[in-house]
């Protein structure tokens, strides 16, 4: 999507500032523009629109409904695809706003200081990308547990793979398996829709076992083509409930001709910490079998350093919320630096998720991160397309 194609709303209570912003946006070639003089009037306009704007530019310091309250309403009602703050605000406040909006599925592009200029607006708006998976259907399409059960049996739930590249060598050496539900017409149901359905309906163990087996089947196929790859598979904490789990996962992996040391089990930090006591022995058995253990979305849960030190992790994944914009935001950089230092002391490899720009790559490489995962390297691809994705990454930039 080009800059001129963006649909932008400017929310600014100061009349002169609002008129200046609209003029600058028009001079950049944008024609789909809306404006409002405050949060209340902006919400009325947004709720009457047929489709949400791509970007809302909003001032935080407004009388009546301030920008923070307004953003909360926008996020709750999913009234925009992304927001950007027009304010010289404190970095910690921006991060709070970003976390609040992200929790409701709203992207925060960043902040631009007043006075506005063509260069500032271009730099900000050029970071906008269409975020939903290109294969996914809208989340509001209703699906039933029985349909998911049938899809599993029919092999319609399958792994897509997002490559992970070494900062040191630039080589793609690993992938993360991400579940996709393919419909008969070739479109895909969003994981955000069917994974909670599986969790609530007691199908997570079946989904996990299926993903583990299918992912390892692809690892074996790639090996025949000369591509040696480790694979990470997400496992819900609800599946880690008994000592027999480690034996079952080992059988699944070896049945596909893959050794456990080529497989990393990913567990989200917040889910894991709730089940540490009953899961600790099982996690230890997975490590004894040779599986790697990764703590996913590090920094988004409420774990203690003591708990992390007690669990036999081999890998830590820095959440994309800390990676995006880190070159421009000192607080995010500080979180990444602290995470890398912790990982070094615990002997863990580190994967940075959501790497989308060269500036983010360069920062993470400078700080000593091990692996990058994100759209800069590749989008998630079907197993048959991994070789092509690796070839695209190897091509020199134009």
pLDDT tens for each residue of 246-285: 999 999 999 999 999 999 999 875 555 555 555 677 888 8
Q: If pLDDT is split at 50, 70 and 90, which confidence band does 369 have?
A: very high
Among the three residues 125, 153, 169, which one is the final residue of a domain in this structure? 125
Residues 115 and 177 in one domain: no
The residue among 190 and 25 whose pLDDT is bigger is 25
Residue 247 lies in a domain: yes
Residue 293 has what pLDDT? 93
Residue-number span of the structural domain to which 364 is assigned = 145-394
Q: Which long-range contacts (CB under 8 A, 24 or more apart) does 24-30 make?
A: 24/116, 24/117, 24/118, 24/121, 25/121, 27/118, 28/3, 28/4, 28/118, 28/121, 28/122, 28/125, 29/3, 29/4, 30/3, 30/4, 30/6
Please report the sign of the dihedral spanned by the C-alpha atoms of residue 274, residue 277, residue 282, residue 284. positive
Q: What is the CATH number of the domain that holds 84?
A: 3.40.50.2300
Has residue 135 been placed in a domain?
no
In a domain, 136, yes or no: no
Among 71-75, 112-116, 151-155, 322-326, the minimum mean pLDDT is found in 112-116
* DSSP per-residue string spanning 36-63: ESSHHHHHHHHHH-SS--SEEEE-S--S
Asked if residue 323 and residue 183 are part of one domain, the reply reads yes
Angle separating helix axes 244-255 and 276-289, nearest 10 degrees: 40
Mean pLDDT over the full length of the chain: 86
Q: Who has greater pLDDT, 394 or 251?
A: 251
- Domain check: are 261 and 114 in the same one? no
Q: CA–CA separation, 282 vs 227, rounded Å? A: 31
In this prediction, residue 145 carries a pLDDT of 87
The enclosing domain of 330 has a CATH number of: 3.20.20.450
pLDDT of residue 137: 41
Q: Is the pLDDT of residue 90 over 80?
A: no
- pLDDT at site 319: 87
pLDDT digits (tens, 9 = 90+) for 325-351: 889 888 889 989 999 999 999 899 999
Q: Is the pLDDT of residue 95 over 60?
A: yes
Whether residue 188 is found in the same domain as residue 328: yes
The listed range with the strongest mean pLDDT (303-307, 310-314, 335-339) is 335-339
Helices assigned H by DSSP within 189-325: 191-200, 204-224, 244-255, 269-274, 276-289, 305-310, 320-323
Query: Is the residue at 130 inside a domain?
Result: no
Residues 160 and 278 in one domain: yes
110 with 163, same domain: the answer is: no
Percent of the chain with pLDDT over 90: 56
The reply to whether 170 and 96 lie within a common domain is no
Domains of the chain: total: 2
Position 394 scores a pLDDT of: 87
The model carries a pTM of: 0.72
Mark which of 125, 159, 178 sits at the end of a domain.
Answer: 125
Residue 132 lies inside a defined structural domain of this protein: no
The pLDDT of residue 1: 58
pLDDT band for position 133 (cuts 50, 70, 90): very low
Would residue 271 be called left, alpha or beta, if left means φ above 0 and alpha means ψ between -120 and 50 degrees?
Answer: alpha
Predicted local distance difference test score (pLDDT) of residue 140: 44
- Is the pLDDT confidence value at 289 over 90? yes
On whether residue 131 sits in a domain, the answer given is no
For residues 310, 343, 326 and 303, what is the CA-based torsion angle, rounded to 10 degrees? Answer: 10
Q: Select the more confidently predicted residue: 1 or 92.
A: 92
If asked whether residues 153 and 53 sit together in one domain, one would say: no
My answer on whether 232 and 93 are in the same domain is no
If asked whether residues 36 and 171 sit together in one domain, one would say no
Q: Span 172-199, mean pLDDT?
A: 89
Residue 28 has phi, psi (to 5 degrees) of -80, 0
- When mean pLDDT is compared across 172-176, 201-205, 211-215, 393-397, the lowest value belongs to 393-397
86 and 12 belong to one structural domain = yes
Region 237-247: mean pLDDT is 81
Average pLDDT, integer, range 119-142: 62
Residue scoring higher pLDDT (382 or 123): 382
Is the Cα torsion angle 142, 233, 315, 375 positive or negative in sign? negative
Instruction: Check whether residue 151 and residue 119 sit in a common domain.
Output: no
pLDDT > 70 fraction of the chain, expressed in percent and rounded = 87
**What pLDDT is attached to residue 135?**
40
Domain-located, residue 67: yes
- Confirm whether 140 is domain-assigned: no
Question: pLDDT for 26-69, tens place per residue?
Answer: 999 999 999 999 999 999 999 999 999 999 999 888 888 988 89
The span from the CA of 69 to the CA of 134, in Å, is 31
pLDDT over threshold 50, residue 132: no
């Amino acid at each position: 999507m080009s800059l001129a194609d963006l649909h932008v709303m400017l929310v600014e209570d100061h009349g002169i500032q609002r008129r200046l912003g609209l003029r600058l946006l028009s001079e950049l070639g944008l024609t789909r523009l809306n404006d409002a003089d405050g949060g209340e009037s902006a919400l009325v306009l947004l709720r009457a629109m047929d489709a949400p704007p791509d970007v809302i530019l909003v001032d935080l310091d407004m009388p009546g409904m301030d920008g923070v309250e307004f953003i909360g309403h926008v996020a709750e009602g999913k009234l925009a695809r992304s927001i950007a703050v027009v304010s010289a605000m404190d970095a910690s406040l921006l991060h709070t706003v970003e976390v609040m909006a992200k929790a409701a599925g709203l992207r925060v592009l960043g902040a631009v200081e007043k006075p506005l200029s063509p260069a500032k607006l271009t730099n900000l708006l050029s970071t906008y990308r269409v975020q939903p998976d290109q294969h996914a259907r809208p989340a509001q399409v209703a699906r039933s547990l029985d349909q998911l059960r049938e899809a599993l049996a029919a092999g319609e739930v399958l792994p897509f793979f997002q490559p992970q590249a070494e900062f040191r060598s630039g080589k793609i050496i690993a992938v993360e398996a991400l579940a996709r539900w393919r419909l008969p017409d070739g479109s895909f149901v969003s994981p955000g829709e069917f994974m909670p359905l599986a969790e609530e309906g007691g199908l997570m163990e079946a989904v996990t076992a299926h993903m583990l087996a299918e992912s390892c089947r692809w690892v074996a196929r790639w090996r025949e083509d000369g591509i040696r790859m480790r694979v990470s598979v997400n496992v819900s904490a609800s599946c880690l409930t008994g000592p027999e789990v480690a034996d079952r996962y080992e059988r699944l992996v070896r049945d596909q001709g893959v050794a456990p040391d080529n497989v990393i089990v990913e567990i989200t930090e917040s889910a894991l910490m709730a089940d540490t006591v009953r899961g600790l022995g099982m996690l230890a058995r997975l490590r004894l079998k040779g599986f790697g253990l990764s703590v996913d979305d590090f920094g988004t849960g409420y774990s203690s350093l003591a708990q992390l030190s007690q669990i036999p992790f081999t890998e830590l994944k820095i959440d994309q919320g800390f990676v995006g914009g880190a070159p421009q935001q000192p607080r995010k950089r500080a979180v990444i630096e602290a995470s890398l230092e912790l990982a070094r002391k615990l002997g863990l490899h580190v994967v940075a998720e959501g790497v989308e720009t060269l500036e983010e790559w360069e920062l993470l490489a400078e700080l000593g991160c091990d692996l990058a995962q994100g759209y800069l390297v590749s989008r998630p691809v079907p197993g048959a397309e991994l070789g092509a994705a690796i070839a695209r990454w190897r091509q020199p930039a134009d």
